[in-house]
Structure 1
Amino acid sequence: MRKLPIVVVIPTKNEAENITSTVRSVIHHFEAVVVVDSDSTDNTRKLAKAAGAEVVPYTWNGAYPKKKQWCLDRVHTGTDWVFFLDGDETPSPELLAELRRIFFDGRPVKPAAFDIPLRYWFGGRRLRHGYTIVKRALLDRTRARFPEPDDLDAPGMGEQEGHYQPLAHPAYRLRAPIEHRDLDPVATWFDRHNRYSDWEAWLELNPEVREQIRAAKTRQGQLFHRAPFKPLVSFGYAYLYKRGFLDGRAGLDYALAMSFYRWQIGVKARELAESRF
């Protein structure tokens, strides 16, 4: 089978639960599959190699570039196109077919990046409705770059770029999704988003940096960035407007979890503001 002229890059840290299925989902379809691992203490590296991936070690030095831009700068630079997958993600069969139509139709690929929707799983259940996450996950490294906002002193994100998109123009949205199916316990979702909320709260008290990041978000993200009463807006949008209630208990749980995340950000931001006085 002809392989897509794309390097799959999978940034990892302690993804032993998920990494085998992720690597196996791409190993026969793409030119190269590289796991860029940040000193995992589990069997992530061993399992990735056993599944056929190349493994590259990564240690952050505390400065820019952060991990994904470092990958664009250093990993298989002879191939322009890079497809970022998390350690718990797999491309759907529909996405693989869509990529083959784009890259094998004989014409130059005009976009500098592709935005891809996630088919999200939460608490072991697939969500068919509710809030849809879209990632700018497929990049032409010669025409795309992650921004470098002044957030190195912020808590929560560390080596990973924050919640913003790489800068690329033009960017097109694909129809077919990435499957985001995390096999870890739901507690890991809450642990991760607790860290993320530290970063988001810090941004609330640093409006200049917040505006730098707002400019690197999708149109939907920019609109929500300015919305008041974010916990209520988040729940109403996901559960009512986007019909998350059709997913039953899982839809309610996810809408509440995201609303709670927004509430966390607000509480932490207010606490930080009070501590400054």
Structure 2
Amino acid sequence: MSKLPIAVVIPTKNEGLNIAEAVKSVIGHFEAVVVVDSHSTDDTVKIAEDCGAEVITYTWDGGHPRKKQWCLDHVRTDLDWILLLDGDERIGPGLLAELRRLFADPDAPKPAAYDIPLGYWFSGRRLRHGYTIRKRSLTDRTRCRYPEVGDLDAPGIGEVEGHYQPVAESVGSLRGPIEHQDLDPVTAWFERHNRYSDWEAWLEHHPEVKEQVRRVKSRQGQLFHKAPFKPLVSFVYMYVYRRGFLDGRAGFDFALAMSFYRWQIALKSREARSL
């Protein structure tokens, strides 16, 4: 079976528990599978190489471009299409089949990017209801670019672009999900979101940058950006409106964790205002 004319690029740092599943889900199906690693101190690089991926070392210089845009600029530039996967994500058979249909005719017109739903796992269980995020993970690098927002001095994010999408002149949607199944313990989730909340709280005190970020978020993200009482709205939206209660204890835990994340942002923002 021919390989898809897409470079799968997996940015990593210390993804030793996850990287094997990510690489195995795409190796042999795509023209290139490249892990772009930021000096991992665990066995991420060895595992990725043993699974058949090419590994490139990335060193951030503190400016633009950040890591994902650097990948668009430098990794396998002989291939226009690039699929960015996180180290804890993998491709399922449904999405793989959809991509094969999409690229069966290489000359057929296509939009500049595709939004792909995430199949999200939390505390060991696949969430079927409360989580509705779509990621602009598949892009034609010649027609897409991550924006350079003014948050280089913000805490919590560092080398990787924040919670915003690449800008594309036209966007399509795919139905098959990317499976986001983090095998790290749940403490890693809280550690990451503690850092993310530092960034979000910083934005609250830099309104021009906050507006830059809002404009390049997903439509859902833009709407939530303006919502009042975000901790309560977040919980009600995920657990009640999106019927997260049907996911059992995991649905409740995730809705509560995301509400706590929103509360952290508000609390850190108020603290910064009082200093």
- TM-score (structure 2 length as normaliser): 0.99
Q: Which residue of 1 aligns with 2:242?
A: 242
Q: What is the DSSP-based 3-state SS (H/G/I as helix, E as strand, rest coil) of the residue aligned with 1:59?
A: coil
Cα distance in 1, alignment partners of residues 256 and 109 from structure 2 = 40
Cα distance in 2, alignment partners of residues 237 and 107 from structure 1 = 41
Structure 1 residue 28: deviation in Å? Answer: 1.0
Q: Which blocks of at least 5 consecutive residues in structure 2 are unaligned? A: none
Q: Which residue of 1 aligns with 2:174?
A: 174
Distance of aligned partners of 1:273 and 1:57 in 2 relative to their CA distance in 1, 3 Å threshold: same
Cα distance in 1, alignment partners of residues 151 and 134 from structure 2 = 23
Question: CA deviation digits over 1:120-147, x for unaligned, max 9?
Answer: 0000111111021110000100000000
Q: Which residue of 2 aligns with 1:7?
A: 7
Structure 1 residue 155: deviation in Å? Answer: 0.2
Contact 2:116 2:175 in 1 (8 A): yes
Question: CA deviation digits over 1:178-236, x for unaligned, max 9?
Answer: 01110000000000000000000000010000000111011111000000000011000
User: After the TM superposition, which residues 186-201 of structure 1 pair with which residues of structure 2 at under 5 Å, given as runs?
Assistant: 186-201=186-201
Structure 1 residue 105: deviation in Å? Answer: 3.2
Number of matched pairs: 275
User: After the TM superposition, which residues 212-251 of structure 1 pair with which residues of structure 2 at under 5 Å, given as runs?
Assistant: 212-251=212-251
Q: Which residue of 1 aligns with 2:150?
A: 150
Contact 1:131 1:237 in 2 (8 A): no
Amino acid corresponding to residue 213 of structure 1 in structure 2:
V
Q: What is the DSSP-based 3-state SS (H/G/I as helix, E as strand, rest coil) of the residue aligned with 1:26?
A: coil
Q: Which residue of 2 aligns with 1:115?
A: 115
Q: Which residue of 2 aligns with 1:42?
A: 42
Contact 1:102 1:109 in 2 (8 A): no
Contact 1:115 1:171 in 2 (8 A): yes
For the aligned residue pairs, the C-alpha RMSD in angstroms reads: 0.7
Structure 1 residue 106: deviation in Å? Answer: 5.0
Q: Which residue of 2 aligns with 1:128?
A: 128
Contact 2:120 2:131 in 1 (8 A): no
Contact 2:164 2:213 in 1 (8 A): yes
Contact 1:103 1:109 in 2 (8 A): no
User: After the TM superposition, which residues 58-73 of structure 1 pair with which residues of structure 2 at under 5 Å, given as runs?
Assistant: 58-73=58-73
Amino acid corresponding to residue 44 of structure 1 in structure 2:
T
Contact 1:156 1:199 in 2 (8 A): yes
Amino acid corresponding to residue 211 of structure 2 in structure 1:
E
Q: Which residue of 2 aligns with 1:100?
A: 100
Cα distance in 1, alignment partners of residues 108 and 259 from structure 2 = 42
Contact 2:10 2:35 in 1 (8 A): yes
Amino acid corresponding to residue 264 of structure 1 in structure 2:
Q
Cα distance in 2, alignment partners of residues 158 and 268 from structure 1 = 18
Q: Which blocks of at least 5 consecutive residues in structure 1 are unaligned? A: none
Amino acid corresponding to residue 112 of structure 1 in structure 2:
A
Cα distance in 1, alignment partners of residues 65 and 239 from structure 2 = 37
